[in-house]
Amino acid sequence: MKNVREDTMMQAHPDQSMWQVMSFKKQHLWIDRKDKRIIISLPCRVANPGGKICDAEIMNLSAGGMKLACNRSTFEQLVPEGLRTPGMISDIAIEISFTPEDQARKQPAPIDAHALIIHSERLSQDSYHVGIQFTELNEADTRRISAVIDAVLTTNQAG
């Protein structure tokens, strides 16, 4: 059930050697979520299986999925023409690759996952937000994502 409520969200910026975290209050539609979620800015590559690879940006991340920001060209590449009405997406299969900062590795490895586009929102003529749900993510990558989220939340609580 959707309720409007005020919630504290975390925002991470990987533009420095350490995550810089800000806490802010934001009124938004709240959907009860199974996994902890952080706001983050992280580049990624997405494609339909066997399709053209496109660039996008991860806006928020959880162990269960993410929200992407992309341009119109990427959105049209990922979403078939008959399913492009915002809010009317029908589970479109995609592949996604991204590399979160990993303190445990000198050379962080990319995370490659199979996922579904479960919703979208058109913000302007050339700006879209796309909700992604992971369908195949191995245990090690799930742990890596959870570790990134926990590190951001711990840094925020310590600050």
**Whole-number pLDDT of residue 13:** 43
Domains along the chain with CATH numbers: 3-158 (2.40.10.220)
3-state class of 107 per DSSP? Answer: coil
Greater pLDDT, 23 or 47: 47
Number of neighbouring beta carbons within 10 Å of residue 108? 13
Q: Which helix (H) or strand (E) segment is 149 a member of?
A: helix 139-158
pLDDT surpassing 90 at residue 31: no
Write down the pLDDT at residue 103: 62
* Per-residue pLDDT, 7: 37
Give me 137's structure tokens.
């993510």
**What digits encode the pLDDT tens for the residues 40-85?**
999 999 999 989 999 999 999 999 999 999 999 999 999 988 888 7
Q: In angstroms, how far is the first alpha carbon of the chain from the final one? A: 33
CB 42 within 8 A of CB 59: no
Q: Residue ranges of the alpha helices (H) in 1-138?
A: 72-78
For 103-152, write each residue's pLDDT tens digit: 666 778 899 999 999 989 999 999 999 999 999 999 999 999 999 899 88
Please list, in sequence order, all residues whose beta carbon lies within 8 angstroms of the beta carbon of residue 7, skipping any fewer than 6 positions away: 25, 26, 28, 30
Q: What's the pLDDT at 89?
A: 66
- The dihedral built from the CA positions of residue 12, 13, 18 and 21, taken in this order, carries a sign that is negative
Taking Cα atoms as reference points, which of 125, 131, 110, 126 lies closest to residue 70? 126
Assign 1 to helix, strand or coil: coil
